[in-house]
Amino acid sequence: MNRRRRVYEGKAKILYEGPEPGTLIQHFKDDATAFNNQKHAKIEGKGVLNNRISEYLFQKLGDIGVPTHFIKRMNMREQLVREVEIIPVEVVVRNVAAGSLSKRLGLDEGTQLPRSIMEFYYKSDELGDPMVSEEHITAFNWAAPQEIDDMMSVALRVNDFLTGLFLGIGIRLVDFKCEFGRLWENDTMRIVLADEISPDCCRLWDIETEDKLDKDRFRRDLGGLVEAYQEVARRLGLHVDNPTQNQGGPVLVRSQ
């Protein structure tokens, strides 16, 4: 598998050339980073869990008509996706104050927001993903006004759907980050949901105990990250036995 051409390597994932033109293989690593890579660790089993959870969420979102890059899961760590041109903007949707919003505006973590709030961050490791406005996005041509509208309406739909889905399994979706790409089909282009949606890029709190079931366990040195992600998978009805096994390489699984 290492002879495959590596198209891109990020902090938590690698993209390889896919089996057909216009496809890529998205490989989930066990690496966890925070605060723009100042903090870094390998957490065995994280990649397998994120692959499975993200597959499930992208499939469910596809089922309600949200356009995504996802095609199918290939094995424990990898999924087949459509090749898209990633828009260099991270879209964050928040329902409850936490993290950088709490810090910036002095809001207690856990405060319900008057309505869902959307924010944009420019994807740049050198700059540490600074927050930007629609004005920056259009002035610097990172995305056109219509593309911003499309990203915002999809992000809100994703938020509504995931809020309900997680509520049904006793989890509050506090906030999440999503990314979009341009998918070219013949001469037409559309904006699709890309990257991943997993506990690495969401805040997920248990409704009853307020326990954190997301990457804040790593950011804040709380420990028990794999157990928390496993709990999210379990509540979603996903069976991920021994996510830490088979570090050697991919193992084919039957698709459902």
Question: How many angstroms separate the CA atoms of 43 and 31, rounded?
Answer: 6
- Binding ligand TMP by CB under 6 A: which of 16, 28, 56, 176? 176
Least Å distance between CB 196 and ligand TMP? 9
Q: Does the protein bind ligand ASP through residue 123 (CB under 6 A)?
A: no
Q: Concatenate the DSSP letters of all residues of 184-219 into one string.
A: EETTEEEEEEES--STTSEEEEETTT--B-STHHHH
- Binding ligand TMP by CB under 6 A: which of 43, 92, 197, 236? 92
Least Å distance between CB 164 and ligand TMP? 18
- Beta-bridge partner residues of 212: 205
Q: Regarding beta strands 6-9 and 188-194, do their DSSP bridges make them parallel or antiparallel, or are they unpaired?
A: unpaired
User: Can you say how many angstroms the Cα of residue 223 is from the centroid of all Cα atoms in its chain?
Assistant: 21
Q: Does the protein bind ligand ASP through residue 66 (CB under 6 A)?
A: no
Q: Does the protein bind ligand TMP through residue 88 (CB under 6 A)?
A: no
Name 61's Cβ contacts closer than 8 Å, sequence gap at least 6.
68, 158, 161, 193, 197
Name the residue number minimizing CB distance to ligand ASP: 33
Q: Does the protein bind ligand TMP through residue 96 (CB under 6 A)?
A: no
- Binding ligand TMP by CB under 6 A: which of 57, 193, 201, 236? 201
Q: Concatenate the DSSP letters of all residues of 114-139 into one string.
A: EEEEEEEEE--TTTT--EE-HHHHHH
Q: Does the protein bind ligand TMP through residue 225 (CB under 6 A)?
A: no
Site residues (vs ligand ASP, CB under 6 A): 11, 33-37, 215, 219
Site residues (vs ligand TMP, CB under 6 A): 92, 98-101, 129, 175-177, 201-203
